[in-house]
């Protein structure tokens, strides 16, 4: 099978691989209006911060591609409505806001041209965001592979792979690049409750690539690390604050504490589009809370009293002091803090 692609632009439509159906069914969604993209981001048909950004960018293209080519005010209103609606979907994913800002700029800086050209410029911008993200992931892989021992087992959480990005992946991009360099790498994948991105998506995409992966439940991570079965933890990020604190899938913070206790490296991989220099620290990152039924149920099966109270934060924050290295397309920052990131992000 060709490398899994989460988001594509195909014949004037956004094509998404529906990640709510994986791994049982490979369903492609063909979306022709931005409301459909909003819905797909909310339902997690497309998920992972970089992939959300890419999908949102094409969502804005959908909003304008059939717009009247003489009504300039109407064109701008359509684009702004789509941008505003897409912004309401996943508050923690920095790449979403980054991509939408790029789309807004692509529109504003071309507005002196005929609207057909503005549309084309916006489509080119969305395609650049997609292609660029794949290139960034490849670079992250190259830089990050240097942190991975020749023979080792990596523990990862959630899915920070091809499915979560334009392609290749961030955390899983490091695994892929290390394997391409001839290293002997195995992976432990946390199942990642409540929505099981690790069990459903990470195992699936690694198995598609014949990468040795073993599934564990989240509660097994401490035991597995204590037994010495894991040499490094590698995860992705949804937003990285100015001081290097990292918001990522709920459960990441616990893994970072475990890594420190057991003296194994804890590595975070993300493109620069995930870095948020306007947010001082992790305390200032807005954490998305999701529907209670995601916790009360597994898939459609109720596993708790139907009316039990639930707390369902989708992400947590790992403080910079627990992070051994941040990897982006620009390279590696060991033991990140505000000082080091300031120089690095210049
Ligand atoms: O809720 P999700 O599935 O969108 O959460 C995804 C994650 O937490 C990923 O680790 C993160 O977005 C990085 S993806 C390269």
Question: Is residue 199 a contact partner of residue 189, using CB atoms and an 8 Å limit?
Answer: yes
Q: What is the pLDDT of residues 278-304, one digit of tens each?
A: 999 999 999 999 999 999 999 999 999
Distance 80 CA to ligand 1 centre (A): 26
Q: Is 156 in the pocket of ligand 1 (CB under 6 A)?
A: no
> Ligand 1: which atom is nearest the Cα of residue 52?
4
As a whole number, the mean pLDDT across the chain is: 97
Q: What is the pLDDT of residues 20-48, one digit of tens each?
A: 999 999 999 999 999 999 999 999 999 99
Entry pTM: 0.97
Q: What is the pLDDT of residue 302?
A: 98
Q: Which residues are 68's β-sheet partners?
A: none
Q: What is the pLDDT of residues 185-200, one digit of tens each?
A: 999 999 999 999 999 9
**Which positions are catalytic?**
238
> Ligand 1: which atom is nearest the Cα of residue 157?
10
Cα–Cα distances in angstroms (integers) from residue 118 to residues 62, 121, 131, in the given order: 13, 5, 20
Flag whether pLDDT at 225 surpasses 70: yes
Q: What is the pLDDT of residue 346?
A: 82
Distance 309 CA to ligand 1 centre (A): 25
C-alpha to C-alpha distance for 195 and 295, rounded to whole angstroms: 8
Closest CA to 103 of 60, 49, 156, 39: 60
> Residue 63: which pLDDT band, with cuts at 50, 70 and 90?
very high
Domains of the chain: 2-138 (1.20.120.420), 142-341 (3.40.50.10470)
Q: Is 50 in the pocket of ligand 1 (CB under 6 A)?
A: yes
User: Which residue minimizes the CA distance to atom 8 of ligand 1?
Assistant: 249
> Residue 3: which pLDDT band, with cuts at 50, 70 and 90?
low
The average pLDDT across 42-70 equals 97
> Ligand 1: which atom is nearest the Cα of residue 95?
12
Whether the CA torsion 340, 322, 206, 270 is positive or negative: it is negative
Closest CA to 291 of 195, 201, 209, 204: 195
Q: Is 191 in the pocket of ligand 1 (CB under 6 A)?
A: no
Distance 171 CA to ligand 1 centre (A): 10
Flag whether pLDDT at 1 surpasses 80: no
Q: Is 157 in the pocket of ligand 1 (CB under 6 A)?
A: no
Q: Is 47 in the pocket of ligand 1 (CB under 6 A)?
A: yes
Residue of 134, 237, 275 with the most ligand 1 atoms within 8 Å of its CB, for mutation:
237
């Amino acid at each position: 099978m060709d490398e899994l692609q989460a988001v594509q632009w195909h014949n004037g439509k956004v094509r998404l691989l529906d990640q709510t159906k994986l791994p049982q069914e490979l369903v492609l969604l063909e979306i022709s209006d931005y409301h459909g993209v909003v819905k797909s981001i909310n339902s997690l048909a497309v998920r992972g911060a970089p992939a959300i950004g890419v999908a949102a960018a094409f969502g804005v293209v959908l909003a304008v591609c059939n717009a009247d080519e003489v009504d300039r005010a109407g064109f701008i209103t359509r684009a702004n409505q789509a941008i505003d609606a897409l912004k309401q979907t996943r508050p923690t994913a920095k790449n979403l806001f980054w991509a939408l800002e790029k789309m807004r700029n692509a529109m504003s800086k071309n507005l002196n041209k005929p609207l057909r050209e503005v549309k084309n410029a916006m489509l080119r911008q969305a395609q650049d965001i997609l292609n660029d993200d794949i290139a960034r992931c490849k670079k992250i892989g190259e830089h990050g592979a240097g942190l991975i021992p020749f023979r080792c087992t990596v523990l990862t959480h959630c899915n920070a792979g091809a499915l979560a990005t334009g392609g290749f992946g961030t955390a899983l991009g490091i695994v892929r690049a290390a394997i391409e360099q001839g290293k002997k790498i195995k992976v432990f994948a946390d199942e990642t409750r409540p929505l099981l991105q690790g069990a459903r998506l990470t195992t699936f995409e690694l198995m598609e690539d014949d990468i040795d992966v073993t599934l564990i439940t989240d509660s097994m991570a401490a035991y597995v690390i204590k037994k010495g079965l894991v040499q490094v933890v590698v995860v992705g990020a949804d937003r990285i604050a100015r001081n290097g604190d990292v918001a990522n899938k709920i459960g990441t913070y616990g893994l970072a504490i475990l890594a420190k206790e057991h003296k194994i490296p804890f590595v975070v991989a993300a493109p620069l589009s995930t870095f948020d220099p306007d947010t001082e620290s992790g305390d200032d990152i807005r954490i998305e809370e999701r529907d209670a039924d995601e916790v009360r149920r597994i898939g459609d099966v109720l596993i708790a009293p139907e009316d039990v109270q639930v707390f369902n934060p989708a992400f947590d924050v790992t403080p910079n002091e627990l992070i051994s290295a941040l990897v982006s397309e620009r390279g590696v920052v060991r033991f990140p803090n505000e000082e080091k990131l300031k120089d690095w992000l210049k």
